[in-house]
A and B are shown apart, each in its own frame.
Chain A
Amino acid sequence: MVAEIGQFVLILALVTACFQSVLPLVGAARSNRPMMRFASNAAFVQFAAITGAFACLTVGYVTSDFSILNVVNNSHSLKPMLYKISGVWGNHEGSLLLWSWILALFGLAVALFGRNLPDGLKARVLAIQGLIGVGFLMFILFTSNPFERVNPAPLDGNGLNPLLQDPGLAFHPPFLYLGYVGLSITFSFAIAALIEGRVDPAWARWVRPWTLAAWGFLTIGIALGSWWAYYELGWGGWWFWDPVENASFMPWLAATALLHSAIVVEKRDALKNWTILLAIIAFSLSLLGTFLVRSGVLNSVHAFASDPARGVFILMFLIFVIGGSLLLYGIRAPMMKGGGLFAPISREGALVLNNLLLSTITATVLLGTLYPIFLDAFTGAKVSVGPPYFEATFLPLAIPLVAAMAFGPFLAWKRGDLAGVISRLKFALLVALAFAGFIWWWQTGAPIMALLGMGLFAWLLVGSVLEWMERIKLFRGPLASSWKRMIQLPRSAHGMTVAHIGVALVILGITASESWQSEHLGVMRPGEIVTVGGYDFRFDGAETITGPNYDAVRGTFLAYTGGNKGVYLYPEQRRYTDPPMETTEAAIRPMLSADLYAVIGEADGKGGYAVRIYHKPFISWIWIGAFVMFAGGALSLSDRRLRLGAPERAKQEPAVSSAPSGVKG
C-alpha cells in the first residue's frame, strides 16, 4: 500500500511540475498576475508531494518491506536503524528522490522567502525550477522507480554495500545534493535574467546568498566525502582525483568563482555576462557529475550500477538543459550591456584574476575527467588519468591563486594602490619567509614544495588577519573604537576573513601531511614495538569479534610517547555476510598536531598480522579548515544585507518586470 501511495504522489508531483514550468512563464510574458502567482502554490504542492513520496520510501525501509524491489536490493532486516534510514538515499533510485526533494525544498524556499522579488522574476525562476523538476521526476518514474514491487517477496534483503554503512557517508550525499541543487537556484535566476534580458546589482544581491549557501553545503559535502575515504578505505589517502570526486569538486570550483564574480556585479555593475555564464556552468557541472556517475560512461570506484537506458535519458536531459541554456545565453547575452572598463590593479581586477584562475582550474579538472571518455570514443582505449596529471596542472594554478588571495582584499575598488598594498603586506611576506626558513632549519632541509606550502599558509593566514585588523584599525587608535568598528563591520567581511583563514588551514593540513608523514608497513607479532613519527606503537594482539551484521578481526595497539600513558587503537578488518564483502576500519586517533592511524590486515598464519601504521602530521586541519571555510560562508550568509528574505532593491523598479521583448541595458 505504502509503495502505491508513494508512486501516486510522485506522479502528482510530476503533473504539478509540468504546470509549474509552463503557466508562470506564460503569465510573466503576458503580465498576468494570477498565472505568475500560481508558481508559488505549485512549488508548495510539489514539495508536499515529494515529501510524501520520500516518507513512503522511508517507511518501506524502516519496516523492511521486502515487497519493494529497492528495499530488497539495498537493505537487510539485521541492518542498524541508522543505515536502514541512510539506505533510503544510499542507492541510485533513492538518491534521485532525495535530489528531487531538495529541488522542491529550494523551490519552496524561493516561493516563501522571495516575497520582495519582482513578480515576473520570481515566476520565471520558479518555472525554471519546475522544468528541472520535470526532468528529474520523469527520470525517476520512467527509468528508476523506487516503488517497484517484487512478487513473491523474498524473506530478506541483499543488504547495503558495507562500505556505505558509515555515519560519515550517511550524511555525505544529503550535503552534496544540497550544494548541487542549491546551484539550480542560481541557474534558474540566470535563465530568468536571460529571458528578461536584464542583470542589475539587485539581481546579484539575490543570487549571492543562494550561491553562498550552495557553496557552503558543497564544502561540507566534499569534506565529509574525503573524510570517509580517509578513514574507511584504509589507504590513509583522502583525495584520489577519482571522476566522482572531480564531479563534486568542479561545481565547487565554479561556485567559488561565481561567489566572487557576483560581488563585482553587485558593487560595480560589471562582469554580468560572465556571471550569468558561470551560474549556468556551475549547475551544468552538477548535472554532468550526476550523468558521469550514473551512466556507466566512466569507470569509477564508487559509480552506481549503470544502465544504458538511464544514460540515454540523462544525456538527453543534459543536452536539453545545458545545451538549451547555453544556446539561450548565446542569443541573449550579447544584448546585455556590460559595465565600464576597470583597472587591473583594483579590487575588481583581483576578482577577475580569481575568476580566471578558478575557471582555468575547473577546465583542467574537466579535461582530465573527460579525457578517458574522449580517448575511449576515438580509440577504444580505457585509461585512468591519475593524480600525476591533476597534481601537475592543479598546483601551478592554485599557487598564484593563494598568493593573490591575501593580496586582493587589500585593494580598493576602482583604483588600487599597489605600492601601498605591498608595504602593508610586507609583514605577511616577512612572516611567510621566516616561517618557511624555520621549517627548513627545523626539518634540516625539506622538499621545495613543502617549504612553498608552509610559506603560502603563513602568507595567507597573516595576510587575512592583517586585512581584518586594518579594517577595524586595531592598534591604530583606542581599543574601544576598534571594538566598535569590529561590531559595525558587515558580517560578510568577517565571513570573508574566516573563509580565507579556512583555506590557509587546509593548505597547512595538506602540506604537512603530504611532506612529513611517517609510516610502518609490515608484519607485527604480539608484544612487538615499532616507532613511527616519535610514537611507540605496541601491538597487543588481535581477537575475533562479532558485530551486528559482521564478524571482525580486531587488533589492539598501544601508542605512547616517552612516559605518557598512551592511547589504545582498535583497527578492525570486517567481514560482512550480506552482501559478502570485507572492509577495513582504520583506527584513528585524531589530534591537532597529528593523526595516529593504524590498520590491521591478514594474519600470516604464524601469529603475526600485516599492519600499517601512519603518523600524519596536521592532517586533521584539512577538515578543520574546510569547516572554518563553511563557517565563514555561514557568517557571511547571516549578514543582514544578504539575508535570504530581505534584499533591498537598489533603485525603484516596477513591480512587474518587462516582457521578454523589452530587452533593456
Chain B
Amino acid sequence: MRLRFSAPVLTFAAIAVVMWYALFNLNPAEIPSELVSKPAPEFSLDPVPGYGPGLAQADLATGKVTLLNVFASWCVACLAEHPFFMELKKQNLVEIYGLNYKDKPNAAAQWLNRHRNPYERTGMDLKGRVGIDFGVYGVPETFVISADGKILDKIIGPVSKDIFDIRIRPLLKEAGS
C-alpha cells in the first residue's frame, strides 16, 4: 500500500477515532485562558441598533461581577443558552453584556427582537477584531468579569444552569454580591 493511495483511509481513520471519542466523551473540560486574571482588553463598540448604549472596556468595571457573553444570530448553540440568560435577567442574579460577534446589525437586532434581550449593553464586533483580543475562537463564549474589569474566567460553549452553579456562582459569592 503506497502512501498516496492509503492517505484516504488514514484520514478517515483519524476522523473515526475522534468521532468515536466524541460519542462517549461529551463531558465539558476546562481550558485555561491566557487572559484569566488580567484586565479585559481595550475596546469600544457601537450597540446593536436599538439595543442600548454601546460597549467599551470602561463599561466593564462596574463594581460588581458581571458576564460578557459573545453571541451571534447565526449561532445555533447561542439559542441553547439564551433562555437561561433570560432567566438570569428575570431573577436579577447578574448583569450580562452582549458582545455581538461577526454578525450583521440587522440580523442581530432581529434575533434580539425575536428571542428577547437579556443584555444590559450590547456591542457589535462586526469584523471580529475585539474577539481576537479576547481570544474568542468560537461562539458562544462567556467571560466572567470582576468588579474592577478583570477577566475571572472564560466559559466556552453554552452556559447552562449546571455550569452557572459550578463556575459562576462561586465567583459571585466570593465578590460578596
Q: Which residues of A contact B (CB under 8 A)?
A: 235, 240-242, 273, 277, 280-281, 284, 291, 295, 297, 299-301, 308, 311-312, 315, 318-319, 322-323, 326-327, 329-331, 333-334, 370, 372-377, 379-388, 519, 521, 601, 610, 612
In Å, the complex CA distance between A384 and B9 comes to: 27
| A531 CB, min distance to chain B CBs, angstroms | 17
* 30 contacts across the A-B interface (CB closer than 8 A): A280-B8, A295-B23, A299-B77, A308-B23, A312-B23, A318-B16, A323-B12, A323-B16, A329-B8, A330-B1, A330-B6, A330-B8, A333-B5, A370-B18, A373-B18, A373-B19, A377-B18, A377-B21, A377-B25, A380-B28, A380-B157, A382-B156, A383-B141, A384-B72, A384-B76, A386-B72, A386-B75, A386-B102, A521-B110, A610-B113
Q: In whole angstroms, how far apart are the Cα atoms of A610 and B115 in the complex?
A: 13
Q: Which 10 A-B residue pairings sit nearest by Cβ, starting from the closest?
A: A383-B138, A380-B29, A382-B157, A381-B156, A326-B9, A386-B74, A330-B6, A380-B28, A384-B75, A388-B102
B166 within 8 A of A: no
Q: Is B92 an interface residue (CB 8 A)?
A: no
**B residues in contact with A385, CB < 8 Å:** 138
B128: chain A residues at CB < 8 Å are 388
Docked Cα-Cα span, A326 to B11, in Å, equals 10
Q: Is the CB of B29 within 8 A of A323?
A: no
A235, A384, A601, most chain B CB atoms within 10 A: A384
Q: Are A519 and B106 also in contact (CB < 8 A) when A300-B76, A301-B76, A374-B18 are? A: yes
- Cα–Cα distance between A77 and B27 once the two chains are bound (Å): 41
Q: In whole Å, how far is A166's beta carbon from the nearest beta carbon of chain B?
A: 20
B31 within 8 A of A: yes
A residues less than 8 Å from B90 (CB atoms): none
* B113 pairs with A297, CB closer than 8 A: no
**Chain B residues whose CB sits within 8 angstroms of the CB of A381 once the complex forms:** 28, 31, 138, 156-157
Question: With A and B bound together, what is the CA distance between A315 and B22 in angstroms?
Answer: 11
Nearest CB to that of B138 among chain A residues?
A383
Is B173's CB within 8 Å of the partner chain A? Answer: no
Give the Cβ gap from B175 to chain A, nearest Cβ, in Å. Answer: 25
CA distance A381 to B31 in the complex (A): 8
B18/A329 in contact, CB under 8 A: no
Whether B26 pairs with A329 at a CB distance below 8 angstroms is: no
* Residue among A291, A372, A610 facing the most chain B CB atoms (10 A cut-off): A372
Interface residue from B15, B27, B137 paired with A380 (Cβ < 8 Å): B27
Residues of A within 8 A of B156 (CB): 379-383
CB of B31 within 8 A of CB of A379, answer yes
Checking A312, A333, A379, A387 against B29 with a beta-carbon cut-off of 8 angstroms, the contacting residue is A379
User: For residue B58, which residues in chain A have a CB less than 8 angstroms away from its CB?
Assistant: none
Contacts of B113 in A (CB 8 A): 521, 610
B109 to chain A, nearest CB (A): 7
- Residue of B whose beta carbon sits closest to that of A521: B110
Known: A308-B23, A375-B138, A380-B31. 6 other contacts (CB 8 A): A315-B16, A373-B18, A376-B26, A377-B25, A380-B156, A381-B31
Assuming A381-B28, A383-B138, A383-B157, is B22 touching A334 (CB within 8 A)? Answer: no
From known contacts A379-B31, A381-B157, A382-B158, infer whether A521 and B5 are also in contact, taking CB-CB under 8 Å: no
Specify the chain B residue showing the minimal Cβ separation from A322.
B12
Point out the residues of chain A lying under 8 angstroms from B30, CB to CB.
380
Report the bound CA distance from A301 to B77 in whole Å: 9
The answer to whether the Cβ of B60 comes within 8 Å of any Cβ in the partner chain is: no
- B93 interface contact, C-beta 8 A: no
B151 within 8 Å of A (CB atoms): no
Within the assembled complex, what's the spacing in Å between the Cα atoms of A288 and B148?
48
Q: Is the CB of B19 within 8 A of A383?
A: no
- A299 pairs with B76, CB closer than 8 A: yes
Q: Residues 116-152 of chain B: 1 if any A CB is under 8 Å from the residue's CB, otherwise 0? A: 0000000000001000000001111100000000000
A323-B16, A329-B5 known; A384 vs B28 contact (CB < 8 Å): no
Distance, CA A383 to CA B21, complexed state (A): 17
Please determine whether A382 and B1 come into contact, CB atoms closer than 8 angstroms.
no
Q: Which residue of A lies closest to B79 (CB)?
A: A301
**Inter-subunit contact B19/A521 (CB<8 Å):** no
Give every chain B residue within 8 A of A388 (Cβ-Cβ): 74, 102, 128
| Chain B residue nearest in CB terms to A379 | B31
The chain A residue sitting closest to B4, CB to CB, is A334
Cβ distance A386 to chain B, nearest Cβ, rounded Å: 4
Question: Once bound together, how far apart are the Cα atoms of A277 and B156, in whole Å?
Answer: 38
Q: Does the CB pair B27–A521 fall under 8 Å?
A: no
In the complex, the answer to whether A315 meets B109 with C-beta atoms within 8 Å is: no
> B1 and A315: CB pair below 8 A?
no
A653 to B95, CA, bound (A): 77
Contact assessment for B29 and A384 in the assembled complex, using a CB-CB cutoff below 8 Å: no
Bound CA span A432–B16, Å: 46
In angstroms, Cα B19 to Cα A376, docked, is 10
Q: Is the CB of B74 within 8 A of A387?
A: yes
Closest Cβ neighbor of B156 among chain A residues? A381
Bound-state CA distance A315–B16 (Å) is 8
The reply on B171 being an interface residue by CB < 8 A is no
How distant is A521 from chain B, measured CB to nearest CB, in Å? 6
By beta carbon, the residue of chain A nearest B23 is A311
Annotate B17-43 by CB proximity to A: 1 below 8 A, 0 otherwise: 011111111111111000000000000
User: Are A384 and B78 within 8 A (Cβ)?
Assistant: yes
Q: Which residues of A contact B75 (CB under 8 A)?
A: 384, 386
Question: Are A297 and B22 within 8 A (Cβ)?
Answer: yes
Q: Is the CB of B28 within 8 A of A315?
A: no
Q: How far is the CA of A330 from the CA of B10 in the complex (A)?
A: 10
Q: Please determine whether B139 and A383 come into contact, CB atoms closer than 8 angstroms.
A: yes
Residues of B within 8 A of A521 (CB): 106, 109-110, 113
Give chain A nearest CB distance to B148 CB in angstroms: 27
Specify which chain A residues have a CB less than 8 angstroms from the CB of B4 in the assembled complex: 334
The answer to whether A384 touches B77, judged by C-beta atoms less than 8 angstroms apart, is yes
Cα-based distance from A383 to B142 in the complex (angstroms): 12
Partner of B8, one of A281, A319, A383, A387: A281
Which residues from A are CB-within-8-Å of B141?
383
Identify which of A280, A323, A610 gathers the most chain B CB atoms within 10 Å of its CB: A323
Alpha-carbon separation in the docked complex, A389 to B165 (Å)? 33
Question: A334 with B16: in contact, given A299-B76, A311-B23, A315-B23 (CB under 8 Å)?
Answer: no
Q: Give the Cβ gap from B163 to chain A, nearest Cβ, in Å.
A: 11
Q: Are B110 and A612 in contact (CB under 8 A)?
A: yes
Output the least CB separation between A332 and chain B (Å).
Answer: 9
Contact across chains for B76 and A370 when beta carbons are under 8 A apart: no
Report Cα–Cα, A382/B155, bound state, in Å. 10
Q: A430–B30 Cα gap in the complex (Å)?
A: 57
- Bound-state CA distance A387–B72 (Å) is 10
Complex: A329 Cα to B9 Cα, angstroms: 8
Q: What is the minimal beta-carbon distance from B54 to any residue of chain A, in angstroms?
A: 20
List chain A residues, Cβ under 8 A from B23. 295, 297, 308, 311-312, 315
Contacts of A384 in B (CB 8 A): 72, 74-78, 138-140
Task: Assess the A377–B1 pair: CB atoms within 8 A.
Answer: no
The CA of A55 and the CA of B128, in the complex, are separated in Å by 53
